């Protein structure tokens, strides 16, 4: 059995769409915010996987964390509309990186495997009105970098280099490879 250490609707949807069976075991681990983006994503994914409470004698726990890195700054989830506006203004008309850390461990803690996927995302120039309208729709809240590529923000993203699912929050190819390597599927 695979346990997802997240209550993220996006991560649940990605796993389901890939035909991967799982149960949700939310983790309330404290996240770090300082460091380079790869370290932040991998450490937070590890903390989430270790922080998931599972009452089972066998199975695997999957944790993940996504960090947006732009102009030398790590962008997590916006704290409010003003923070979302600042992030979207920073991303507007620029290229940035998205790092998603993935941690797979067994419930008995005999192994832990942490990896990071990175991709590049190009944002079109957004007008102040477009930023305000996007914030008003509410989609930006709870998302790293204050945007959801799979939602309304997709119209501002002309291209990416790398995994679309990495930007959404769970790189499916990497997760599938890790599950196969550890005979978790």
Which residues span the domain enclosing 114? 2-181
Categorise residue 132: left if φ over 0, alpha if ψ from -120 to 50, beta otherwise.
alpha
Given a cut of 90, is residue 56 above it in pLDDT?
Answer: no
Given a cut of 90, is residue 70 above it in pLDDT?
Answer: yes
Helix (H, G, I), strand (E, B) or coil at 110: coil
Mean pLDDT, residues 86-96: 98
The count of domains in the chain is 1
Query: Which pLDDT band, with edges at 50, 70 and 90, does 163 fall under?
Result: very high
Given a cut of 90, is residue 146 above it in pLDDT?
Answer: yes
Mean pLDDT, residues 93-113: 96
| The pLDDT of residue 152 | 97
Query: Which pLDDT band, with edges at 50, 70 and 90, does 185 fall under?
Result: confident
Mean of the per-residue pLDDT values of the chain: 96
Query: Which pLDDT band, with edges at 50, 70 and 90, does 157 fall under?
Result: very high
Given a cut of 90, is residue 109 above it in pLDDT?
Answer: no
Residue 75: CATH number of its domain: 3.90.950.10
Would you call 83 a catalytic residue per the annotation? no
Read off the pLDDT of residues 6-42 as tens digits, 9 standing for 90 and up.
989 999 999 999 999 999 998 989 999 999 999 999 9
Q: How far is CA 102 from CA 47, 49, 68, 123, 151, in A?
A: 11, 9, 15, 25, 23
* Percent of the chain whose predicted confidence (pLDDT) is above 90: 91
Which residues are CB-neighbours of 126 under 8 A, at least 6 positions away? 88, 89, 91, 92, 93, 134, 156
| The pLDDT of residue 57 | 82
Q: Of residues 109 and 132, which shows the higher confidence score?
A: 132
| The pLDDT of residue 116 | 98
Catalytic residue among 65, 83, 106, 132: 65
| The pLDDT of residue 95 | 98
CA distance linking residue 131 with residue 85, whole number of Å: 7
């Amino acid at each position: 059995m695979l346990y997802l250490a997240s209550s993220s609707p996006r991560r649940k949807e990605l796993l389901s769409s890939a035909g991967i069976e799982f149960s949700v075991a939310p983790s309330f681990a404290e996240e770090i915010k300082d460091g380079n983006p790869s370290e932040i994503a991998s450490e937070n994914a590890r903390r989430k996987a270790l922080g998931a409470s599972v009452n089972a004698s066998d199975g695997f726990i999957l944790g993940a964390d996504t960090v947006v890195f732009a102009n030398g700054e790590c962008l997590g989830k916006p704290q409010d509309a003003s923070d979302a506006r600042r992030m979207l203004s920073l991303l507007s008309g620029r290229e940035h990186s998205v790092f998603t850390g993935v941690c797979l461990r067994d419930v008995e803690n005999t192994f832990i495997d942490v990896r990071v996927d990175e991709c590049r995302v190009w944002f079109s120039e957004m007008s102040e009105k477009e930023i305000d309208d996007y914030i008003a729709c509410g989609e930006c809240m709870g998302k790293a970098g204050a945007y959801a590529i799979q939602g309304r923000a997709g119209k501002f993203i002309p291209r990416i280099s790398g995994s679309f699912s990495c930007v959404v929050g769970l790189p499916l190819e990497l997760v599938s490879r890790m599950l196969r390597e550890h005979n978790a599927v």
